[in-house]
Structure 1
Amino acid sequence: MRMTPQRQLVLDAVRELGHATPEQVCRRVQGTASTVNITTVYRALDLLEDLGLVRHTHLGHGAPTYSVEEHEHVHLACHRCGRVDEVPCEMLDELAERLLRARGFALDATHLALSGTCRDCRSTEEHR
């Protein structure tokens, strides 16, 4: 598979942004190549994911968020304020072991999003 200039720009944008929606990637790419449109970005992201160079996760109800393959962690997404924190995948090792023993299911927690309520939002609720 040939790495076209557009694909390289998309990959570079994902690397630079860390986590990005396709729209954010498109805006970054258009800063260099104004003729690249959102359809090209989506196609490039799909191909780059098939090649194992990027991965996506859903941090909520919006568009997927992309990052480079070696960027591995668990996202903690607050469904109240929208804040997203990151924790090491190892925090789910015990759960992964329990799932493997109980269900034979091998958990891939390398780029996962969990939703809940962050510390700040919980603190605000408790003080009401």
Structure 2
Amino acid sequence: MSDSSLAEMLRSRGLRLTAQRQLILEAVLDLGHATPEQVHAAVREVAAGVNITTIYRTLELLERLGLVTHTHLSHGSPTYHAAGENTHVHLVCRICGAVDEVDPELFQPVTDKLAADRGFQVDIGHVALFGVCGRTECGERRE
């Protein structure tokens, strides 16, 4: 998203584009999948005065604006990523913490069955599967 379109979106809601808001959005886009703490660390490299409360509030604002979305990939903080990305299922390695993505079509038979049998509509964007990734260092530590 360009600075001018972000500024226009904020202005249309009575808000203004601040350097902090821009830095936080850029950090989410650059990091791919990031917790507020990871966003904070990235932003602090550029602007040391930005505090974690500002990060959380801005991420909430950016989510309300439809620019970012979050999912829970662990028991800790939510993980944010760009909302414009295609919907995907998250694969999270329990050993190294790597996050990968797969196409939700892979799970279509399961989601169709849940809908047919139980009337349950899966929010595939919030699905995370935990396991051990195929990296050599993680595969050696499989139990």
TM-score over 0.5 for the pair:
yes
Q: Percent sequence identity over matched residues?
A: 52
- Shift of residue 26, structure 1, vs aligned partner: 1.1
Distance in 2 of aligned mates of 1:81 and 1:33? 29
Q: Secondary structure at the match of 1:59?
A: coil
Equivalent position of 1:96 in the other structure: 111
* Higher RCO (Cα < 8 Å, 6 or more apart): 1
Distance in 2 of aligned mates of 1:28 and 1:73? 24
AA in 2 matched with 1:79: R
Tell me which of 25, 46, 63 is aligned to 1:32: 46
- Shift of residue 30, structure 1, vs aligned partner: 2.0
Equivalent position of 1:63 in the other structure: 77
AA in 1 matched with 2:41: R
AA in 1 matched with 2:17: T
Equivalent position of 2:27 in the other structure: 13
- Shift of residue 123, structure 1, vs aligned partner: 7.1
For the aligned residue pairs, the C-alpha RMSD in angstroms reads: 2.2
Equivalent position of 1:4 in the other structure: 17
Equivalent position of 1:76 in the other structure: 91
Structure with the higher strand share, 1 or 2: 1
- Shift of residue 4, structure 1, vs aligned partner: 2.8
Cα offsets for 1:48-82 (capped at 9, x unmatched): 11222111112122322110102231111233443
Tell me which of 36, 41, 46 is aligned to 1:22: 36
AA in 1 matched with 2:129: L
8 Å Cα contact 1:100/1:106 also seen in 2: yes
- Shift of residue 14, structure 1, vs aligned partner: 0.5
Change (3 A) 1:3 1:100: farther
8 Å Cα contact 1:60/1:79 also seen in 2: no
